[in-house]
Amino acid sequence: MVSRVIPVEPFDLVLFGATGDLARRKILPGLFHRFAVGQMPGSARIIGSARSEMSAEAFRADVARAIREVAPDTPEREETLAAFLERLDYVAIDVGGEAGWSDLTRCLRNDVVRAFYLSVAPSLFAGIARQLDAHGLATRDSRIVVEKPFGRNLDTARDLNAGLRASFAEHQIYRIDHYLGKETVQNLMALRFANSLFEPLWNATHIDHVQITVAESLGIEGREAYYDRAGAMRDMVQNHLMQLLCLTAMEPPAKFTPNSVRDEKVKVIEALDPVPPEDIARGQYAAKAGGDGYLDHVGNPDSRTESFVAMKVHVANWRWAGTPFYLRTGKRLRARESEIAVFFRDPPHTIFPGTGPLKGNVLAIRLQPDEGIRLQTTIKDPGPGGFRLAGVSLDMSFADALGEEAQAPDAYERLLMDVIRGDQTLFMRGDEVEAAWAWIDPIIARFDDSRDRPAPYDQGSSGPEEALMLMHRDHRRWRQIGG
Ligand code: NAD
C-alpha cells in the first residue's frame, strides 16, 4: 500500500528556539523529511530564531549537522539536504528585548500561511505572543504552536492560556501533545469509528476493564531538574495518558472535525471521578548496588517526586459506569512499551467440559514498539484427542500489514503538517488542558501534603508492589511489561 503525500500550501514557519534540543532532534529533521517526500513545497520557508547572534549560513550548517545525525544516510540525502537548507533563514532575537523583531517582519511574506512555533520554555510563550502582536506579525490567519509542559497546575495553565489568547484566537493556537501525532493513536479512532465490529461492544456491559500503560526503560537522564519538579503525574499522566484515556473512552463525535472531537474528549475528562488515595500507587526507582537510583540522579536524598504512578480511574457516565480504567507509567521499567489493552468480559458460560472458566478477549493497541493491534482469542487446540482450548492472538503489526511504504512518520511530522493545513484535531484545546489540570491538581496536592515517600521499586521491574496490589485487590492482573 503506497502512502499518499499531499503537498501543503506554501508557508513561512518561524521556529523560536531553533538552536535548542527539540528543534535539532525533532522539528528540523521532521521538516526535512516532509521536504524529502515532497509534502513541504519548494517555496516554503523556515526562519530559525534564537538568542545567539549567527549568520543564516552558520544556522544552515548547524541544521545540516543535526539532520545528518538523525536522518538516514542515503545517496539522495545530501542533494535533498542542500535544497532543504536553501529554504532556511535565521534571525537572532532575544525575545525579552526589542531587537530583531523588525528583521523578522522584513523576512515574512504576506501571501502564504504563517506559523510561529515556540520551541522555548513556557515562561516565554506570553511574551513572544505579545511581541508578535505588537509588531503586527500576528495576522488573523497566522498560527502559534506551543510545546509542553502547558503549565504545572490549573492556575499556571490559565495564565498561559490568557497570555496566548491576548494576541491569538483559540482557533490559531496549537498546543502540542506529540502522542496525538502517533499513527496508532489516530488508528484507535479509525478502529473504533470506521469499523462496525467494536463500537457496539465498547461499553461497560461488554468491557471488564481497560489498562493503559506507558512504560519507559530509561530514567530521567538530562532532565533531572525539570523532572524532579514535575514527576510522573505532571510529565506523563496530565497529558499523554489523559489523551489516550480520552480517545479510548469518548463518545463517537458526530463529525471528524477539530471541535467535535475535542468536545467529546473534554466530556470524558469532566466525567472523571476524583481518585481516592487507596486507588493510587506511587513509586521511585531504587538505587542499584553502585547507586544510580532516582535520588542519586536528582541529587536530593529527600525528594518525594514519583518516577512511577499507577491508578484506578472511573469515567462516571452511562457508557463506562462500573468499568475501571487502570493507568500506569514509569521510568526505568522492564521495557519501553506503550499500549492500551481493552479486556472484554469473560464468556458467561462454557459448554466445553473440563476446560475450566473461559477467558475474555483482550484487544491490545500497541503504540510502541512495533505499532499494531492484537486481539487475544480462544480457539480449539488443533489435533485429535478431546476438545481442548488454546489462546491465540490475531496479530496485526502495521509494519507487516502495510509494508515499508507505510513506515509511520514521526509524530512531529504529522503535527507540523497539520499546523500548516490548519487542522487542530490532534492538538489540545485550552479548555481541555484546563479540565485535565482541574482533575489532576487535587491528586498532586495530596501527594505534596502527604508525609509518605513513593514506594521504591527495582530498576527493570514492573514498578512497586503497591501497583500490583492495586490490581490484586480487584482480582485482576496487569499485563506484563515487555511480555
Ligand atoms: P533548549 O533549552 O534545548 O532550547 C531552548 C531554545 O530557546 C534555544 O534555542 C535558546 O536559544 C532559546 N531561548 C532561550 N531563551 C531565549 C530568549 N530569551 N530569547 C530567544 N530564544 C531563547 O530546550 P528544548 O529541550 O529544545 O525545549 C524547548 C521546549 O520544548 C520547552 O518548552 C520544552 O519543555 C519542550 N519540550 C522539549 C522536549 C525535548 O525532547 N527536548 C520534549 C517535549 C517538550
What are the CA-CA distances from residue 177 to residues 19, 29, 120, 235, 303 (Å)?
21, 18, 15, 11, 27
Place of cell 499518499: 4
The DSSP secondary-structure symbol of 96 reads T
How does pLDDT run across 97-150, given as a tens digit for each residue?
999 999 999 999 999 999 999 999 999 999 999 999 999 999 988 999 999 999
Q: Name the grid cell of 78.
A: 545530501
Task: Give burial (CB, 10 Å; 0-12/13-18/19+) of 404.
Answer: exposed
Class of domain 180-412+430-472: alpha beta
Which of 15, 16, 22, 156 is the best mutation target for the ligand 1 pocket, counting ligand atoms within 8 Å of the beta carbon and taking the most? 22
How does pLDDT run across 179-215, given as a tens digit for each residue?
999 888 888 999 999 999 999 999 999 999 999 999 9
Which pLDDT belongs to residue 372? 86
Across 312-327, average pLDDT: 98
**What is the distance in A from the centroid of ligand 1 to the CA of 21?**
7
Which pLDDT belongs to residue 405? 53
How does pLDDT run across 60-82, given as a tens digit for each residue?
999 999 999 887 777 778 899 99
With a cut of 80, say whether residue 269 has pLDDT above it.
yes
**Of 276-285, 359-368, 378-387, 419-428, the least confident:** 378-387
Q: Name the grid cell of 480.
A: 506484563
Which pLDDT belongs to residue 237? 97
Binding region for NADP(+): 17-24, 51, 94-95, 148
Considering only CA atoms, which residue is closest to atom 12 of ligand 1? 17
How does pLDDT run across 2-37, given as a tens digit for each residue?
557 889 999 999 999 999 999 999 999 999 999 999
| Alpha helices (runs of H) in 271-321, residue ranges in sequence order | 294-298
Which pLDDT belongs to residue 120? 97
Q: Give the number of other CB atoms < 10 A from CB of residue 250.
A: 23
Which pLDDT belongs to residue 4? 72
Q: Ligand 1, closest atom to CA 122?
A: 32
With a cut of 80, say whether residue 217 has pLDDT above it.
yes
User: Are 180 and 261 spatial neighbours (Cβ–Cβ below 8 Å)?
Assistant: no
Domain boundaries, the chain: 11-147, 180-412+430-472
Which residues contact ligand 1 via a Cβ below 6 A?
A: 17-23, 50-51, 93-96, 119-122, 147-149
Q: CA 240, CA 179: separation in Å to the nearest integer? A: 6
Q: Ligand 1, closest atom to CA 24?
A: 26
Across 418-430, average pLDDT: 97
Report the relative pairing of strands 337-344 and 207-215 from DSSP bridges.
antiparallel
**What is the distance in A from the centroid of ligand 1 to the CA of 124?**
10
Q: Ligand 1, closest atom to CA 118?
A: 29
Which pLDDT belongs to residue 202? 98
R_g of the chain, CA atoms, integer Å: 24
Considering only CA atoms, which residue is closest to atom 6 of ligand 1? 17
Which residue, 275, 325, 311, is CA-closest to 441?
275
User: Are 231 and 397 spatial neighbours (Cβ–Cβ below 8 Å)?
Assistant: no
How does pLDDT run across 396-406, given as a tens digit for each residue?
877 676 665 55
Give the residue numbers annotated as catalytic, written as ranges.
240
The C-alpha angle 167, 422, 413, rounded to 5 degrees, equals: 110
| 337 phi/psi in degrees, rounded to 5 | -155, 130
Which pLDDT belongs to residue 126? 95
**What is the distance in A from the centroid of ligand 1 to the CA of 223?**
12
User: Are 248 and 362 spatial neighbours (Cβ–Cβ below 8 Å)?
Assistant: no
Q: CA 439, CA 174: separation in Å to the nearest integer? A: 22
User: Are 92 and 17 spatial neighbours (Cβ–Cβ below 8 Å)?
Assistant: no
Considering only CA atoms, which residue is closest to atom 2 of ligand 1? 20
Q: Among the CATH numbers 3.30.43.10, 3.40.50.10610, 3.40.30.10, 3.40.50.720, which is that of 11-147?
A: 3.40.50.720
Q: CA 309, CA 120: separation in Å to the nearest integer? A: 28
Which pLDDT belongs to residue 74? 72
Which residue, 57, 13, 2, 16, is CA-closest to 35?
13
pLDDT: is 462 or 384 the higher one?
462
Order of strands across the sheet that contains 308-313: 389-397, 372-380, 362-368, 337-344, 207-215, 325-330, 308-313, 280-285, 455-457
| Alpha helices (runs of H) in 197-309, residue ranges in sequence order | 224-232, 242-249, 258-270, 294-298
Looking at every residue in the chain, the average pLDDT score rounds to: 93
What are the CA-CA distances from residue 131 to residues 19, 54, 102, 126 (Å)?
20, 21, 11, 9
Across 250-260, average pLDDT: 96
**What is the distance in A from the centroid of ligand 1 to the CA of 222?**
13
- Residue 409 confidence class, pLDDT cut points 50, 70, 90: confident
> Bridge partners of 375?
363, 394
Which of 14, 19, 21 is the best mutation target for the ligand 1 pocket, counting ligand atoms within 8 Å of the beta carbon and taking the most? 21
**What is the distance in A from the centroid of ligand 1 to the CA of 119?**
5
With a cut of 80, say whether residue 460 has pLDDT above it.
yes
User: Are 171 and 144 spatial neighbours (Cβ–Cβ below 8 Å)?
Assistant: no
Which pLDDT belongs to residue 386? 79
